Every structure is written in structure tokens, then in C-alpha cells.
Chain A
Amino acid sequence: MSAPEGALVSRRLDWRPPALILAIALGSLVLVGNPSTWLTLTIAGLAMGLMIFIMSSGLTLVFGLMDVMNFAHGLFIALGAYVGASTVKLFSAAASADSFLANLGAIAPAVLAAMLAAGLLGLFFERVIVRPVYGDHLKQILITTGGMIVAEQLILVLWGPDQIPVERPATLRGSFLVGDMAIEKYRLIAVAIGLAVFAGMMLLLNRTKIGLLIRAGVENKEMVEAMGYRIRRLFVGVFVAGSALAGLGGALWGMYQESVTVHIGASMMVLIFIVIIIGGLGSIGGCFAGAVLVGLVANYVGYLSPKIALGSNILLMVLILLWRPQGLYPVGKS
């Protein structure tokens, strides 16, 4: 029986990073003092962390598999958020109905449309922008940044420069009351979706042939090719899936913030980079741990000392890198 493996390559789960997360959570319980406030903060942190995980998982896998860093990843997030917002508006009757099933009829198309749009853009991006510059990091950074500039402007052409309000479906507004604790409904949904995505990804990576090939590709690309598998086709699949997940994350984040601007992509990009650096470039388990860590720390510090909240992510990154220079779960590249 293997527990959900942390690093893609290690046999046994390295227990220290999860222990660190637990220690931070418990330690902040002492500092916060009030358990109900602490629970609210923890749920908020988990929701934020898991949404960031959904957005960043594709990026870290693409890097692990093909050594490609896509600086335009934020673009898929922005596109997902915009498409999601427009779809919810289209189904506004279903979204404002006071029944969860009817609301689902608005959310499901929104999420699917966001994933489809981002996935298709990902396919196009891989073909046109990334493919000619494999193996050349400098050009990758330049070309994907350039792609981001153009696409950001195109989003402005299509949707206009104004901030777009996103209506959160009726049954997802407000909070559950448990005793004297208020838990925002939408955050629970975000946590549930994030955990589902993580579980699905772990199953796919650890229990299927495709997953085996992806893991093998991260570890040693040439060997997989030598065995006769077309790693490139696999890579296109991962790139598109990663883009679609970024679109999903963007749609969720847009509903969470209840507004969408074109800057959503660029601003999330910084957090995503921090997360995948903390996790170890290329590692899904590390990405998950990093995202949860960033989400929790941002919320705890934001409550305990708002002054340094903005720097907490950078500080966290520096501390983690001092502890483990390759990230929480380094990917053993051969």
C-alpha cells in the first residue's frame, strides 16, 4: 500500500513537510487563541491554497516533463476567469435560483467552458509559441512573456478594460454556522474541488499507464523515448491538461473574488512561482504541499500581523529554500 506519494519519484512519503504544515497550523492556533477564528482562517487558507494548487499543478508538471517554463501560464488563468464569468452571466437565471441543483446548472457549464477555452488556447500555445523554442530557456522566457503581452491585450479587446463583476450563485453565498463558527460555503466548495483534483491527479499518476509514463518522463525523458513512447504527444497532453486546470482555477478564483480583471493572471503568477519553487520544480506532491503552506501562512500572518502579511510569501520561500535548496520534494533528475 503506498500512501499518496509526495515526490513523483520517491518510494516512501517524506513526512517532514506535512509535519511542518501541521506544526504551523497548530502553532498558529496557540497564537490566534480563539478556536473559531482559527478554524475560519484555516478553511480560508486551505481554500486559497487548493485553488492555487489547481492553477499551478500544470505548470510544474510541464516543467518537470519537458523542461519548459511557461511565463504565460497566468494567461490561462485570466482566460478561464473571463470565460467563467461570461458563462455564469449567460446562465444567470440558473445562478440566481435558490436551489443548489439549479446553481450547479450554472457552475458546471461555466467551469467546463473555462477549462475548454483554456485547454484550446493551451493547445494553440504549445504549437505556435512553445514548440519552436524547446531546449532554449532564454527564448522560452522571452517568447512566453511576449505571448502573454499579446494575449492580455486581446482579452482587453474582447472583454473591454473594465473590471467585470462575477455573480456568485445564490446557494454558495453566505456561510454555514457551526456553533459560533462561520464557515463560508464557497470556501468549502473550493476545498472540495481542490482535493478532488489532487486525488484524481494522484490516481492518474500512480495507478495508470499514462501516469507511469509521465513519471518516467520526468525522471528520464530519453529512456522513455528509447522504449518507443512518443514523449512529445504525452507532453502536449500534459500541457493542454495543465492549461485547462489553470482555466478551472481561474474560474474558481474569479467567483471567489467576485470580480475579474485582466491583471488576475499576472498577479497569480507570482504566487504560483513561489508555490512551485517551494514545492520543488516538477513535483506534484511538492506543489500541493507548497500551495497549502502558502495559503495557510498568508491567512494566519494576515490575521496576526497584517503589516508583514504581504512579505510573508517571500519570507516563507526564503526560509524553505534555506532548509531545502531544491524545494520541499526535490525531483531527482538523472
Chain B
Amino acid sequence: MIAGLLSGDAPRSRILSALLLAILVALALAPFLFPGTRPLDVAAKVCVFVLLVASYDLLLGYTGIVSFAHTMFFGIGGYGVAIALSRMEPGWGAIALGTVAAVALSLALSFLVGLFSLRVKAIFFAMITLAVASFFAILASQLSDFTGGEDGITFKVPELLRSRVATYYLVFGVALGLFLVLLRIVNSPFGRVLLAIRENEFRAEALGYRTVIYRTLANCLGAVVATLAGALYALWLRYTGPNTTLDFSIMIDILLMVVIGGMGTMYGAVIGAAIFVVAQNYLQEAMKAFSGAMQGIPLLPDLFHPDRWLLWLGVLFVLSVYYFPAGIVGQLRARKKA
């Protein structure tokens, strides 16, 4: 039964299983284990980012294409729900309509971008997506009548979601469900073809798989899941704005999470997102203490300034790409074999 749920892709490492189980239990019981607004906020963010990072891993880790437009789809989901809920009666119908419209837009965009640029090299796709995403971010901040500009949109949610706990369980449930769906996809024959394309595109093509079609499909799938993650995040925050969805720094965060957790494994997304979001919220306090202790030594207090936490994660990122391309999950699995 568990093997079925996990689509036969077991964690394959005792420590990893324990870690995943701990994260699952912590997230499932978050409202009771960690009372208070901030811990619940962190838990919800972990759920959303696990989903977002997992969908990105479908592109980066499984298909081997680098997209910088993932935040764009995340943003489309957020804005879809926000615009629908702020213009219509705040009900489930509005949420459904907003989500469906957002998913349709994401599908169309990802299909177009994919068809247009996935034929050529990975680098070309990365550059095109970077340009398109930055254009979209500018568009969202300029069309202020529609998107609220830099201020974003604050909106009301349906009656049931006024309770934080209920909203949290909606976020948690959808994220968990979609994560299992993604796990199913990467372990299906379709997922195998994606892996084959990543490993040797030429050979996959020679075996009779139209690589452009598979890549475009993976791109669309990733975009749809990112859109749904964006919708969930908007529902949780009851707000959508450029800074929470479209900012390039979020794209960087996603990259960091995928690589640190482990590319090419869905579990890497869970570990990466959990570590990163917790670090984002709690590492800064540790660094503040550390930086304070270093007062008087030149440069060091600046290096450990709480605002510079990204510096250290960036160093970790570069080191992981060099030395542990399979990230934390890969390391844990390799230990078992040794």
C-alpha cells in the first residue's frame, strides 16, 4: 500500500526515510505541535515550496532543462486566484474559476515557449525563459488596474478558509496529493523517457521518441503544478504581489532548494524546501548572534550579517553542484551502498 502510494520509488536509505517521515509528521501535525502564527506560516510555506520545487525538479532533474520562468507560472496561479476572488463573490466558484483560468494560461504559455525554444539547446531555452519571465514581472507591475501593480492584491477568502487551521490543511492536503501525483509521473514510462532524454538525447531520439514533444509535455506539466502551487500560496497569504510570487530572488531560492536537496529525486525537493525555508526563517537569528559575537574584527561581522544569509547558501549551492550533484538525497543514498 505504501509502495503503491510512493509509486515504487522508496527512499532507499534509512536516514532519508526517517527524515522524510519526520518532515511529514511535523507538517501533518504542525497546527498542534507548534502553536503560534509564525511556525504555522513556516509550515505552510514548506508545503507550497515542496510542491513548487518538486515541479521544478521535473524539469531540471528529470528532463535536464533549465527554465527561469518557473516563478512566472507560480505568479500566474497566485494572480489568477487573487483577481478572481477580489472581483467576484469570495466563494469556491471564484477560486475554481481563477485556478482554471490560470492553469489554462500557464498551459498555453508553457506550450508556446516550449515549442518555440525547446528544439534548440538547453542554453537557448534558459535564456528565452529568463527574458520572458522578466517581461512578465514587468507586465504585472505595470498593469496596475488589473494586478494591483507593486502593491499587489489583498483579497477575502470563502467562509471556511477564514480559519487558519482549515486553510493550512487545504494547503497541506493538496500539496501532498500533487506531490504523490508527481512521484507517480516520474516513475511512469513517461518519466523513464524523460530520464532517457536527460542522459542521452540523441539516443532517445534514435529509439523513436520525439524528444521535443516529451520535453514540451514535461514543461507544461511543471508549469501546471507550479500554477497550482501559486494558487495555494495565494490562498494561504490572502495576498498576491510581485514580491511574493514573481521576484527573481524566488527563482534563485527554487534553484538552491532543488540543488541542495538533490536533483533528479522528488524527495530532494522535500528535503531542500524544508531545510531552506527553515533556514530562511531561523538562520538569520543565529547569524545575528554570531555576527554580534564577532564585533571588533574587521569584515567578519559584515560577512555574517543576518542579511547576508544568502551568501552562505550560495556557497553551499556552488559546492553542491561540484561535489554532490545529487544533493543531500544522493549523499544519503550513496552512504548506504558504501
A interface with B by C-beta (< 8 Å): 63, 69, 71, 129, 132, 137-143, 145-147, 149-150, 153-154, 156-157, 161, 266, 269-270, 273-274, 277, 281, 310-311, 313-314, 317, 321
Contacts and interface: CB of A to CB of B under 8 A. Distances in A.
Contacts of B302: 157
Contacts of B60: 138
B218 to A, nearest CB: 15
Main secondary structure of the interface of B (DSSP, over half): helix
11 contacts: A63-B123, A132-B322, A145-B255, A146-B317, A149-B310, A149-B313, A156-B307, A157-B299, A157-B311, A314-B131, A317-B131
B114 interface: no
A94 B57 CA distance: 54
B139 interface: yes
A146 B66 contact: no
A147 B127 contact: no
A149 B131 contact: no
B317 A310 contact: no
B250 to A, nearest CB: 13
B65 to A, nearest CB: 8
A279 to B, nearest CB: 12
Contact of B321 (A146, A274, A281): A146
B255 A142 contact: yes
Nearest to A311: B135
Nearest to B135: A314
Contacts of B256: 149
Contact of B318 (A69, A146, A156): A146
Interface residues of B, number: 40
B321 A311 contact: no
Given A273-B130, A314-B132, A161 B318 contact: no
A149 B322 contact: no
Contact of B311 (A132, A145, A153, A277): A153
Contacts of A150: 311, 314-315, 318
A270 B134 contact: yes
Contacts of A71: 126
B87 interface: no
A153 B303 CA distance: 9
Nearest to B259: A142
Contacts of B286: none
Contacts of A153: 308, 310-311, 314
A221 to B, nearest CB: 16
Contacts of A138: 60, 64, 66, 122
A140 B248 CA distance: 19
Contacts of B305: 157
B210 to A, nearest CB: 19
Interface in B85-132: 116, 121-124, 126-128, 130-132
Contacts of A310: 135, 138-139, 142
Nearest to A142: B321
B21 interface: no
Interface in B26-73: 60, 64, 66
B311 A69 contact: no
A146 B318 CA distance: 5
A310 B308 CA distance: 32
Contacts of B132: 314
Interface in B245-277: 248, 252, 255-256, 259
Contacts of B317: 142, 146, 149
B310 A277 contact: no
A82 to B, nearest CB: 15
Contacts of A157: 299, 302-303, 305, 308, 311
